[in-house]
Each structure stands twice: as C-alpha cells, then as structure tokens.
A and B are shown apart, each in its own frame.
Chain A
Amino acid sequence: MYDAIIIGAGVSGCAVARELSRYEMKVAVLERASDVCEGTSKANSGIVHAGYDAEPGSKKAFLNIQGSRRMEALSEELDFPYKRNGSLVLCFEESDREKLQELLERGRKNGVEELRILEREELTKLEPNISEEAVAALYAPTGGIVCPFGLTVALAENACVNGVEFHLDTEVQSVEKMEKGYRVESSKGVFESKAVVNAAGVYADAFHNMVSAKKLQITPRKGEYCLFDKTLGDYVSCTVFQLPTKYGKGVLVTPTVHGNLLVGPTAEDIADKEGVNTTGDGLEDVLKRGGYSVQKIFAGKVITSFAGLRAHEAGDDFVIGEPEDAEGFIDVAGIESPGLTCAPAIGEYVAELVRKRIPAAKKTDFIAKRKGIPSVALADEAQRREFIRKNPAYANVICRCELVTEGEIMDAIHRPVGATTLDGVKRRTRAGMGRCQAGFCAPKTVEILARELGKDMAQIRKNAGESTFFAGYSKEG
C-alpha cells in the first residue's frame, strides 16, 4: 500500500512528488509517457509570471505570487536555468491606458512588487526593438523566465533521490475508491494507495470523474509557438506581453533562458486531448500577432514550431483539493497559465493537503540540493578543462549547434529518472535543440542511447509509444 500515488509526471506532479519526498511516505508517480515533462509542461512559454494577471483572491493569484517568489531560491537549490528578466505589457492605444492602469492595480492587490507604468521614451530605452505603435507599458521587474524541462526534470530527480518511485510508460486506466484508499489500475499493474494526487493535465477530468459525482470538465486549449534562432536571443530583453486589443488576446515575445526568441501562443479550444499538432493558420497567426509587439519578425529565423495544450477548466481557476465526495483524492486540475510559475507553491500546498490525510514525520536524511548536468556550452575554459579531466567524453562534441558533448548525454542517461529517448536527451542536455534540429546529432545520440542502455538502435524511441526510428536493416528489401 502506497501512501500516495501521483498521476502525471508533469511539473505539478513532480513538484508534489518532491515536496512529499521530504516525509516518511511511500510515494509513486505514474506517467503514461516515456519520460517526465511530456505533456503541457514541455510546450508552454517558459514564463515565471509576476502575478498581475490573476483575479485577486483566486488560487491562481495566491499561488502565482508564492511561486514567483520561490522560483529563484529553488533554481539555486535544484540547479535549473532561471532568469529574472522582467516583463512588459504593451499598450497600443491611448484609449487603452485605463486597462493598463487596471492591470497595475490588480497586480498591486495581488502583491506584485515594483510594478510601474513606463512611458514610450523609457520603454524604448529598455527595449529598442519594441513596436513603434506601443504608447506605454506596464513593467514588472519581478517577471522571469525558466526552462520548463529543467525545472520539471530537477524536481523529478530530486524526488527520486529522496525515495519517490517513478513508473514511466505506465498509463492509469482506472481509479476506484476502496474502503480505505484507492485502487489504481494501470497498463503496468495495480497500485493501491491511501491517497491519490490527480495531476493528469488535460486528462485530470477523466480521473476526477471516476471517483466524484461532482463532474469536472477540462478543455484542451491549444497554443502554437514559433521558436527563433539564437541570433535573435537578445532582440528583446524582457518578456513582452500585449494588452488584449480589438485583434483579440495577444501573444508574447520573449527571450528564453537558453537565448532563443520565442513567440506565441495562440489560444484555441479543441476537442482532441492529443491534438498537439501545429497548423498553417496558427503559425501564421503567431508571426502576425508577434509582429505587433516588435519592429520586425524575422520569419526566416524560425528554427522550430510546436503546440501545447493548456488544461482549461470552465471556472477559470485552478481546481486544487479534495472533491467533497472523495476523501484522500486530491485534484491538481485546470493547471493552465500561470501553472509553471505556480509549481513550487502548488507542490507545497498539495503536500500539505496530503499530509492532513496521511500524517508522516519529516525525513532526517532529506537531500534538498541537486546538481544539474554540467554544461560545456555554458562553462568557461577552466571549467571545461575540469569536466574533461574528470571524463574525457566531455571533450567529444555530439551536438555542434548547442555544443553538447558525449559526457553530458551519458550523464543525462544515467541520472535518476534518466533519459531513455532522443527527446529525453534533448530536453536534459539541449542536444538537437539548435538550428539544425538534430540533423547531425540524432544518429550519434541514438547510438549513445543504445550503447548506454544496452539496447539495439532500433529499440530507441523519439519519445512515446511506437516512435522508433528504423524499419529494419538496409539490404533486407
């Protein structure tokens, strides 16, 4: 009998796992994908929101401020990329100034610090490439950017080191209330647990509805993005949002923590919970709307595009807590924006809810710190020499666009909750994230994965299910 089963290894599930790993509890995370961070957590803006957006008094507002305040310390503790780059909300019409003022006041009510309005002159000094149409902006110096993969993987690794089990490729099929606790049936067998944390993203409604009569509906809200080459990484320094205009809800233009430029997302409610395809219209829309914020969108510098699904709940707030009729079943549902920002706070908040049901003592040997994979690309020459001295594989460059070495890839594979897929390696090391998009390094990475995991190259997958690379050998046909 487990103390807690967490369904879903996205950023929320992993944050809860990490917080629960502080206590003497038997905890398992069940994830249908082949890796952590495979759903909504992998395809979003990577923003640490300052907290002026959410309705005061909502869960979103409270957890946003808490998450935003904790992110920096957590990034040091768990060693993932985070940067406080500040955020701007652009106002394009004099007549919209009122809305800007409202946003400022809402932000102050929510407890966002240092908020102020920038007039055009100050705005262009801060962002020389900003659109000539922008008349003023709300400036939130506490806004930041984070690597969503880095954050999720760090939480998972640390949870694992502290005793949480991760069951990947394990799809939960049903959750059933027992006399005491829950029976969770999965593609890899049955798990029984005193408590269940439902962090299943766009599928959270399905599991909730298995145990509660008070039904929940999560709508997948698609967001498409374009990612630009690193030569544009400093085109803007802040994350640039737009006030909603007559053209609809705006898109953002932001640098990423890794120095790319990201533009998106669109917002479209769809029926298919697996509908992470991009569309011609969507991508065109992203480029067009992004162009409102800056002087020029360099369409020829797009290196990739992607779509993610936000888990939208009709009430427009996070659904966190026990349904009245399902004691010990804790929803972490409807975690759309600013969910990534909130993750550290959600982890703590939900862990407290679990502990109310399952009292447990604090571990005395909890390991709070985690060290990330050393990055050759970010290291100076002395550090590089040191990495190479410890392991010469750190001198063998596999991904030339992002300067990722064999040593880093081996490290990513052999870590707790390590990479087993090409995408897993990519998200942990950035191999294949550069401008050639894995054209050169994919064959080499697949070879290293096979070697290190003791498998044949034909068994190595891109990510989930049947996403293998080969249909046999040459000279067979």
Chain B
Amino acid sequence: MNKSVEILVVGGGPAGLAAAAAAKEAGVKAEDILIVERDRELGGILNQCIHNGFGLHTFKEELTGPEYAQRYAEKVQAAHIPYLLQTIVVDIRTGDGKDKGVCGTKYVTAMNKQEGIFTVEAGAVVLAMGCRERSRGALNIPGYRPAGIYSAGTAQRYVNIEGRMPGKEVVILGSGDIGLIMARRMTLEGAKVKLVAELMPYSGGLKRNIAQCLDDFGIPLKLSHTVVDIDGKERVKGVTVAQVDENRRPIAGTEEYISCDTLLLSCGLIPENELSAGLGVELNPVTAGPVVNESLETNVEGVFACGNVLHVHDLVDYVSEEAESAGRNAAEYALRRKPETGQGQQRAEKESAEICDMADAGRSAEAKIQDGLAVDGDEAPNSAAKQGSGIAVKTGRGVRYTVPSVLRPQYMQEEQVIRFRVGEVCREVELVVYFDGAPVMRMKKRIMVPAEMEQVKLKKENIEKHPGLKEIQIAVEQA
C-alpha cells in the first residue's frame, strides 16, 4: 500500500466511491488515490437497502441499493483505485510546516487488523463518512430501557444482512424514509406494524415511500404524535403514544397504549463529523455538516466533503452527483498543489504558507465544537470571511440551509448547483434568488416539503454580470 497519496477518501459508500472515480477521471493516477472503508465491503449503508428505487436519475432505471453501490464499486475496481476494507480512520491532521509535518499535507491515521496502526500522507482528503441515526437517548423518550428498541437502520441491518427478525409486533416512531421502508420490510417478513407515529404535522419521508410502504399495506400514519412512555423491563411490552400540540408537547388525555415487542426509531440522521471536527473543520449547526464553498471544500484547505457527511440527502443520485463534483475538485486541487516543476514547487510553497495561516481559523472552529457551543438551533455561521473572498450564499425566509454557503466565481463551473431544504411544508410559493437584495430569479413551486432536498442552478455567466456581488440569498415567498 502506498503510504503517500494525492487523494485520500474517507468512506467507501456511494459518496466515497463516486468521489474517487471522479478524481481518477479528472486526471489523478489510480495509485495516487486511496479509499478507506470501515466495513467488510464497499457500498456503505446501501448494502442493507435491498429495496428498489435507486438510480432513477443517474441510470434511468430502478436499482436496489446493493445494485446501485455495485455499479460504483465496479467503476472503482475497473479503474484500479486502491481501497482498504475493515479499516477505520482515527485521526486526520494537517502538517504545520514545523515539527508536525509538511505544511498543508494531511496526515491520516488509520487502523486495521492486517497493518495495525498506520499513517498515510495525503495532498487532499475527501470526507465521505456518511451519517448516523438519532438514538432513543438523544430523543430523550421516557420509560424503561428494555431490549427491543432499535433505530430503523439497525433493524434493517438485522433483517437484511443478518437474516434476523428484531420482533413481531412493531411500532415505528418517526416517518423518515428508513422507517417507512422498514414498515414495509417488517410487514413482508410477517411482522405486524401497528402504527407509524410522526412528531411533526408532516412526514419526514418521501411521498412515494408513504404510498408504497404504508398506504399499500394499510399501515396507519399518525402525524403530530409521539411516544411518551416505553413499557417492559426486559423486552418491550408496549408503548404509549400521545398527540402533540403545535409546540410538539404531548397533550394530556390523548395517550393511547399500544402493545408491541419492538419500537423502531426513524427520527432523523446526523452527519458523522467527529473526524472533521478533530481536524478543525467548521460545521454548520443546521446541517451538522461542514461549511463548504462552491468546490465543496471546507475551511481547511484541501479537505472536501460530500454525501451525507456534508448534509443528509434523501436520494442517493444526488449524493453521487455531489460526490463526483467533490472528487473532481479534490483532483484539481491535488494536481495544482503537486510540485512537479520548479515553478510548481514555488507555487506549492506559497500556497502551503497560506494554508498554515488559515489553520488558526480551523482551530477556533474545533475549539467551538469542543466547547459545545455549536449546538442545534444556533444560527448558521457566516463563513464568508473564513473562506476568503467570495460571495456569501445566505438563507432567506423559509430556507433552513444552503450547500454551498460561499461561491468564489473564479473556481465555479459553468453551472453551480445550490442544494437546500425548506423548514416547513409550503404550497403555491415562489422560490426567489436575490443578488445583493435584488430578485434575479423567480420560480413557481406548487409544493415544497422539508423531506425533499431542493436545488437551484446558478449560471456562472449570470454571476459574472454582477461584478462586486457580495451576497446571494435564496428565499421562499408566497406567490
């Protein structure tokens, strides 16, 4: 294995695979790329998503999760891009140009059974670690703590990978897509899914999943409901479900006891950014993912992010698309940085010096996370300053976040995709893009829902027509 690479990709799921393949296509040699994957095979969480519906955008056909993953795994294998399995990255740091390594070089420490603990030097790093599920503990659901409470993804793994049934009588809290998929899956495997309860007044999952996974099987969905108590000292015996008011507080008198042996939780996904935080990557408290610029590069130069570690997606097609962009940008960065000629060397050194100047900004972000100040509900940081000169992309009314949040026109592609989510269900609205306060684009939308990621495409030529542009804002307004 090469202990020094141009691009190291952390994670071999759909994001990591697409990023690596795109980096190769952009001109980085296969042996200068390395994918590090913690599981037994490539493909990430898609390997347990055996239902179909993947790839409609990318391949214009309906694939299962493993099939979709396989296409990208084969691409990586055909390109001879090296990868390590059952290997976990435990630390990433940037050299400081002094006693702790070459300035700007990333030092990635990983562990596996074959090689023990080892460090790989990388010019660029692509973060593609994915996300985890919100746990019962994080939801702070009262009651006993028996066996039989699973996050929907854990249950999915048990059923689809281990071939085990987590239970026979099921209540599902949360209508996220994995929960909906598991409602159908458990039903097909002979379990009785008694109810899906959703805290919010709208579903957290895709419309098609509500139809295909609940409606088709007669599984009731109760909106504005939550679990207020869990019964059973050894194994779950039942749960108490209650209606909630507009402040999401249980309404006394609406409690209903439902006997069951299993409670599945599908209450949101959280990007896994512990490694990123350790590296000094600034995180957006709204997405819990890195703050990135148009190149999907974080505040730590040469560190890119894509897929669910950046922000949680609902369709893997967009993960692949985003990851390909991150991979290409990482490749460009790595090739630019590579000191092949004398001139290149000089430029590399100059850029390295700049990177080290920027390192302090990164550390302050880490300190903020360590202090626990970057918590849910905080304002999204204004990162334009830290990203150097650039156009800030701001959230307007109704928009929770945008990815990216800074654009540097000189690095933009001809067309720049801005992905975002709305904060609540909105009907008959207009999506408006403002350039320094002046509306430049209006698009009518019949309906927009928080469960479905939205996007707008900005043309580089339009932005270049506004020299000195400081701020782009995206807002949802009544039509």
Contact = CB atoms under 8 A, between A and B. Distances in A.
B372 A469 contact: no
A302 B137 contact: yes
Given A302-B138, A395-B116, A475 B111 contact: no
A461 interface: yes
Nearest to A440: B132
Interface residues of A, number: 66
Contacts of A301: 372, 375
Interface string A137-151: 000000000000000
A226 B114 CA distance: 40
Contacts of B153: 439
B189 A475 contact: yes
B250 A400 contact: no
Contacts of B168: 471-472
Given A302-B137, A477-B190, A470 B165 contact: yes
A21 to B, nearest CB: 31
B140 A302 contact: yes
Interface string B24-39: 0000000000000010
A59 interface: no
B154 A443 contact: yes
B372 A306 contact: no
Interface stretch (B141-149, B292-300, B388-396, B439-447): B141-149
B165 A471 contact: yes
B86 interface: yes
Nearest to A231: B372
A277 B369 contact: no
Contact of B375 (A298, A472, A476): A298
A473 B376 CA distance: 39
B189 A397 contact: no
A388 B375 CA distance: 36
Interface in B142-174: 142-148, 151, 153-154, 157-168
Interface in B171-219: 189-191
A438 B153 CA distance: 12
B143 A278 contact: yes
A462 interface: yes
What class of interface size applies to chain B in its complex with A? 35 or more
B47 to A, nearest CB: 13
A467 interface: yes
Given A436-B132, A472-B165, A476-B190, A277 B157 contact: no
Nearest to A464: B234
A235 interface: yes
Interface in B65-114: 86, 88, 90, 109, 111-114
Contacts of B158: 443, 469-470
B364 interface: no
A356 B16 CA distance: 69
**Among B111, B136, B234, which residue has the most Cβ atoms of chain A within 10 A?**
B111
B261 interface: yes
Interface in B1-44: 38
Contacts of B90: 397, 403
Contacts of A227: 137
Contact of A400 (B88, B133, B140): B88
A462 B272 CA distance: 26
Contact of A443 (B157, B191, B376): B157
A471 B162 CA distance: 13
Given A436-B133, A468-B147, A395 B140 contact: no
Contacts of A274: 233
Contacts of A279: 142, 229
Contact of B112 (A396, A443, A470, A477): A396
A255 to B, nearest CB: 12
B413 interface: no
A439 B266 CA distance: 12
B467 interface: no
B333 to A, nearest CB: 27
B238 to A, nearest CB: 13
A463 B159 CA distance: 22
Given A280-B250, A384-B117, A385-B117, A467 B146 contact: yes
A305 interface: yes
B64 interface: no
B341 to A, nearest CB: 36
B137 A395 contact: no
B377 interface: yes
A401 B235 CA distance: 25
B174 to A, nearest CB: 14
Given A300-B376, A457-B162, A471-B167, A283 B146 contact: no
A392 interface: yes
B138 A437 contact: yes
Interface in B364-378: 369-372, 375-377
Nearest to A439: B151
B331 to A, nearest CB: 28
B116 A303 contact: no
B228 interface: yes
B384 to A, nearest CB: 25
A436 B116 CA distance: 25
Given A278-B143, A302-B137, A443-B158, A397 B261 contact: no
Contacts of B113: 392-393, 395-396
A465 interface: yes
A358 interface: no
Given A471-B166, A477-B191, A305 B147 contact: no
B112 A395 contact: yes
A304 B135 contact: yes
A227 B142 CA distance: 14
Contacts of A302: 137-138, 140
Contacts of A469: 147-148, 158, 164, 166
Given A282-B142, A443-B162, A470-B166, A437 B117 contact: no
Interface in A13-55: none
A249 interface: no
A309 B133 CA distance: 30
A74 to B, nearest CB: 30
Interface string A224-236: 0011010110110
Contacts of A282: 142
A157 to B, nearest CB: 25
A474 interface: yes
A94 B220 CA distance: 57
Interface in A390-449: 392-393, 395-397, 400-401, 403, 405, 435-440, 442-443, 447
B142 A277 contact: yes
B261 A471 contact: yes
Interface string B401-435: 00000000000000000000000000000000000
**Among A282, A306, A389, A396, which residue has the most Cβ atoms of chain B within 10 A?**
A396
Contacts of A384: 111, 117
Contacts of A395: 111-113, 115-117
Contacts of A305: 137, 140, 142
Contacts of B143: 277-278
Contacts of A270: none
Nearest to A461: B147
Contacts of B114: 392
A474 B133 contact: no
B154 A439 contact: yes
13 contacts: A226-B140, A277-B230, A280-B250, A385-B116, A396-B111, A400-B38, A400-B88, A401-B274, A403-B90, A439-B151, A467-B147, A472-B164, A472-B165
Given A277-B142, A395-B111, A457-B164, 9 more contacts: A277-B144, A304-B138, A392-B113, A436-B133, A465-B233, A466-B234, A467-B147, A469-B166, A472-B168
Interface of B: 38, 86, 88, 90, 109, 111-117, 132-133, 135-138, 140, 142-148, 151, 153-154, 157-168, 189-191, 228-230, 233-235, 250, 261-262, 272, 274, 369-372, 375-377
Across the A-B interface, the 6 shortest Cβ-Cβ residue pairs: A477-B190, A304-B137, A300-B376, A437-B135, A462-B147, A465-B234
